[in-house]
Amino acid sequence: MTEPSNLSTYVLRLADDAMVLGQRISEWTSNSPNLEEDIANSNVALDYLGRARMLYAYAATMLNTTEDELAFMRDARQYTNLLMHELPKGDYAFSTVRQFFIDSFDVLYFEQLVNSSDAQLAAIAAKTLKECRYHVRRSRDLMVRLGDGTEESHTRMQTALNELWGYRHELFMDDELETELQQQGIAITRTDLQQAWDAAINDCLAEATLSIPETDWTVTGGRAGVHSEHLGHMLDDMQCLHRSYPGVTW
């Protein structure tokens, strides 16, 4: 592998985000509330995994390696996804709220990234943006249905909201590396997106009869490889087979 550049590190971050969330969503396959939801979840997971592949493949050309090497041979400490993406799927409420948070963010993010001065990233963003716009339509719809459904569904949704609330800050943090890339017109300024995201969330929560959590908190560390305890276990399962037979083709 060649030495990472700012750009390859950045692409890898976005790839890791898509990878771990895609893996999580795929856990709903054959476990969803009905066949319709099952099929829809698989569609979303396929979009994320497809995005991960495009980004890993791009990073791999810069790093002189392969997409699978990047996905399967790095440990949890080397993964740089934002924490929200890696959390276990939880109940349907938890997965729905997480999905809505991330979909809402992704739409804003990729709307900007299509203008990246890096042509490859801009192209990936254009494809991703179409997917995100569909995802958010579906996850927002579910937010309202489950938030304003039964007493049980409302309680579960509010609980999920409370449990995820403190992870949102990480979505909007720019570090030195991304700031440098922003100056070159490659990356997006995350802090700039917060206001629009807040508005989208508030608007939806009101319609879903859910409340903004009373207590706020902040957990970060994903970009530095300091993850929840869950990521390691997820990667064990995901990477085990690939690592057990080094150097072969599948």
The residues binding other proteins (CB under 8 A) are: 23, 26-27, 29-40, 42-43, 45-46, 49-50, 52-53, 56, 67-68, 71-72, 91-92, 137-138, 141, 144-146, 148-150, 152-153, 156, 237-242, 245, 248-250
CB of 218 to other proteins, least distance (A): 30
CB of 129 to other proteins, least distance (A): 18
Judged by beta carbon, residue 171 or residue 235, the one nearer other proteins is: 235
Closest CA to 73 of 250, 249, 244, 229: 244
Burial 161-198 (b: 16+ CB within 10 A, else e): bbbbbbbbbbbbebeebbeebeeeebbbebeebeeebe
CB of 246 to other proteins, least distance (A): 10
Closest CA to 9 of 74, 72, 89: 74
CB of 120 to other proteins, least distance (A): 18
Judged by beta carbon, residue 44 or residue 83, the one nearer other proteins is: 44
CB of 48 to other proteins, least distance (A): 10
Q: Which two tokens stand for residue 228?
A: 């929840």
CB of 162 to other proteins, least distance (A): 18
Nearest-angstrom CA–CA distance, 55 and 13: 9
What element of type H or E holds 22?
helix 6-26
Judged by beta carbon, residue 2 or residue 30, the one nearer other proteins is: 30
Judged by beta carbon, residue 84 or residue 144, the one nearer other proteins is: 144
Nearest-angstrom CA–CA distance, 22 and 224: 21
Judged by beta carbon, residue 38 or residue 198, the one nearer other proteins is: 38
Within 10 angstroms of residue 20's Cβ, the number of other Cβ atoms is 29
CA 80 to chain centre: 11
Judged by beta carbon, residue 37 or residue 111, the one nearer other proteins is: 37
